[in-house]
Amino acid sequence: MSISKKVCLREGLLKDVDRIYRISKSSLPNYYAIHELNYFVKSPKYILVIVEKNDKAIGYVLGHLEKKKTTCSKRDYLRGHVMSFAVQDRYRRLGYGSLLMDKLESLFSSRYNISLMSLHVQTTNEKAINFYEKIGYKKYEFMKNYYFRLGDDGYLMCKIIRRKCKLEENKEKKVTFKESFENIKKEKMKRTLLDDIKKMKI
């Protein structure tokens, strides 16, 4: 693995949306429209992480905070769900995907104290399944026709982030989900504003 020193891992901003859109369009059969990506970047329930090389985004991962039960867990634990993920093809297999997922998981953990991560993947996407298994995800459910438009089935894959004992410890901090959510919302609004101001060159 060789990662150049001019690599930067950071949260995505509105200015990154066009580039992310292009990477997703060239890498995935299912991708989000620009207006959807704009909405995700502004919402505190979503976390977008991008990796840049020489100031140019070469990969991204987008996650959403969820609380619905899944087959991964009997309880409705807070969960980070991977919604879209790709590295530009010529930069694959160099470790950037692992860096992105690692950062996404740690941001979801520190902000929302999540218990697990989850994602859906096409059963035919063996490279991605191999990748997820290498970084600790396990197949939990086979979902027949999940990708019906693509004529493919899916797997739900999950990774436990926090064991029960750690959940007990974190309860003592008494940071409620609402507080944490409000803080992130404020921070995101501030950053979006700063980003827009920079664009206007004020």
Ligand X SMILES: CC(C)(COP(=O)(O)OP(=O)(O)OC[C@H]1O[C@@H](n2cnc3c(N)ncnc32)[C@H](O)[C@@H]1OP(=O)(O)O)[C@@H](O)C(=O)NCCC(=O)NCCS
Query: Residue 13 or residue 94: which is nearer to ligand X going by CB?
Result: 94
What is the number of the residue whose Cβ is closest to ligand X? 97
Least distance from C-beta 128 to ligand X, angstroms? 4
152-160, strands of its sheet edge to edge: 7-11, 46-53, 56-66, 79-87, 116-122, 152-160, 138-147
Distance CA 128, CA 121 (A): 8
In the bound complex, what is the minimum distance in angstroms from residue 96's beta carbon to ligand X? Answer: 4
- Residue number with CB closer to ligand X (28 or 160): 28
Contact predicate 154/198, CB 8 Å: no
What is the pairing mode between strands 116-122 and 79-87? Answer: parallel
For residues 93 and 166, which CB has a smaller minimum distance to ligand X in the complex?
93
Measured from the CB atom, the residue of 7 and 14 that comes closer to ligand X is 7
Q: Which is nearer to ligand X, 57 or 121 (CB)?
A: 121
Alpha helices in the chain (DSSP H): 17-27, 34-42, 96-112, 126-134, 164-171, 177-200
Q: Which residues pair with 8 in a beta bridge?
A: 52
**Least distance (Å) between residue 119 CB and ligand X:** 6
Nearest to 27 by CA among 1, 64, 49, 58: 58
Question: Minimum distance from CB of 197 to ligand X (Å)?
Answer: 33
Write down the number of H helices and E strands in the chain. Answer: 6, 7
DSSP state, residue 13: -
Binding positions for ligand X, rule: CB under 6 A:
27-28, 85-87, 92-98, 121, 125, 127-128, 130-131, 134
In the complex, least distance from residue 127 CB atom to ligand X, rounded to whole angstroms: 4
